[in-house]
Amino acid sequence: MYDFGYTKPSSLADAVAALAGDDEAKALAGGQTLIPVLKQRLNKPSKVVDLSKLGLSGITVTGDSVTIGAMTNHATVAASADVKRAIPALAALAGGIGDIQVRNRGTIGGSLANNDPSACYPSAVLALGATITTNKRSIAADDYFQGMFTTALEAGEVITSVSFPIPAKAAYIKFKNPASRYAMVGVFVATGPKGVRVAVTGAGQGGVFRHTAAEAALSKSWSPAAIDGVSISPDNMNSDIHASAPYRAHLVGVITKRAVTAAG
Amino acid sequence: MPQVTLTVNGKAATVEVEGRTLLVELLREKLGLTGTHVGCDTSQCGACVVHVDGNSVKACTMLAVQADGSSITTIEGLAKADGTLHPMQEMFREHHALQCGFCTPGMVMAAVDLVAKNPQGLTEEQIRHGLEGNLCRCTGYHNIVKAISAAQPLMHAKAAE
């Protein structure tokens, strides 16, 4: 690892000031992606700004929404009785990320700021029509994800929380890479105040995306059978040694059906 | 250089580190606690698992500076001062849950956290899922799972004392 300066500010304003005006500064949330990246010398930040002392952890559930602080780790979301009651699919998704040790450190804000094309959380944010709140503004999920490892976040902009409208039904199913267990294809389906929404992670070259053909079919009939005959082009699918693009396109249909079955 | 103050196995320590110093490097190289191993160094194998404020984490994927103010338990901190093994260590010995022993410190630390967080008890399948972050290349996991299963009533009885 290249060495870097390190700062652990105690206010959001100080953290933003430390990040602003320094293109080489990096924000550190749980570090479960950033630290491995630094170890491989794929990144050489001037300084690392640790967000752990900004008071950004915590979960608030109201009658129609679940709001999760950006620094809340996956284990906390998975174990939250409130989240399990309000959006069980979200708690289950959090409990399936990585392994226990990764879930004890990794955070929702870090996952969303990184926008890894195989990350689980982006699918929940997009399918539930969540709102991402930063130090500057609120960003709708549909505007937030802008391609692999690319988001609407500007330089010096820090996610503070994510607010999920509570759906009537939802489920997340992922087809795991057999060795590393990341989502080769993950599908989050939801029906509720935002209508029927289906978001796919792991499959697309551009990161998470909405499966609009499946949404149209499920809007007519919320049932696994509605997915029969709905296809998706392999043109923009990832292709690697683990799965070809046509295989991933096929999996999108299979996993969408399983997710609708699981949502009930 | 940044200074880190933390409690390791009940003892206070203040150590000078670089920003890039990993928690596992602090433990092994600054404090001489070499029971915590570095296997893959890519967050996958779990040989470096320690407890930070009661939660199992991979010490190769946490900066030492992030642990400032924390309480750390390593494999060296599990047995009693008189040498009496922790029930999990005892059951690993009883059930021959190790061969080469390289993964064992991380396995034991992960297993202690897993059992402690699940007082309702875990099935064999749940234990296997709970070990997703730990790799063992010798045992095929069977005896590790048996050891953890056997340690459950012992740990819960101890916690209830």
pLDDT of chain A, 264 residues: tens digit per residue: 899 999 999 999 999 999 998 989 999 999 999 999 999 999 889 999 999 999 999 999 999 999 999 999 999 999 999 999 999 999 999 999 999 999 999 999 999 999 999 999 999 999 999 999 999 999 999 999 999 999 999 999 999 999 999 999 999 999 999 888 899 999 999 999 999 999 999 999 999 999 999 999 999 999 999 999 999 999 999 999 999 999 999 999 999 999 999 999
pLDDT value at position A176?
A: 94
Mutate to test the interface with B, among A34, A48, A99 (most CBs of B within 10 A): A99
Say whether residue B16 is in contact with chain A using an 8 A CB cutoff: no
Quick check: is B81 in a domain?
Answer: no
Q: Is the dihedral of CA B41, B45, B47, B53 positive or negative?
A: positive
Range of the domain at B70: 3-75
Q: How far does B161 lie from chain A, in Å, by closest CA?
A: 26
Please compute the mean of the pLDDT values over residues B55-83 and round it to a whole number. Answer: 97
Quick check: is A164 in a domain?
Answer: no
Q: Kindly report the CATH number assigned to the domain that includes residue A182.
A: 3.30.390.50
Q: What percent of chain B has pLDDT over 70?
A: 100
Q: Kindly report the CATH number assigned to the domain that includes residue A18.
A: 3.30.43.10
Distance of alpha carbon B127 from alpha carbon B131, whole angstroms: 6
Q: Which of B18, B56, B63 sits opposite A101 (nearest CB)?
A: B56
Residues B57, B12 share a domain: yes
Quick check: is A181 in a domain?
Answer: yes
Geometric angle at alpha carbon A42, from A152 and A209, rounded to 5° = 35
Quick check: is A259 in a domain?
Answer: yes
**Across the strands, what pairs with A212?**
none
**Across the strands, what pairs with A161?**
A69, A133
Residues B56, B97 share a domain: no
Distance of alpha carbon A197 from alpha carbon A43, whole angstroms: 35
Quick check: is B31 in a domain?
Answer: yes
Domain-ending residue, one of B75, B107, B133: B75
Q: Is A101 in contact with B65 (Cβ distance < 8 A)?
A: no
Say whether residue B88 is in contact with chain A using an 8 A CB cutoff: no
Number of domains in chain A: 2
Q: Which residues of B touch A30 (CB under 8 A)?
A: none
Q: Give the pairing of strands A169-176 and A183-192.
A: antiparallel
Range of the domain at A42: 1-50
pTM of the model: 0.96
Q: Which of B18, B66, B130 sits opposite A100 (nearest CB)?
A: B130
Q: Is A39 in contact with B63 (Cβ distance < 8 A)?
A: no
pLDDT value at position A179?
A: 82
Q: Kindly report the CATH number assigned to the domain that includes residue B21.
A: 3.10.20.30
* ipTM score for this prediction: 0.96
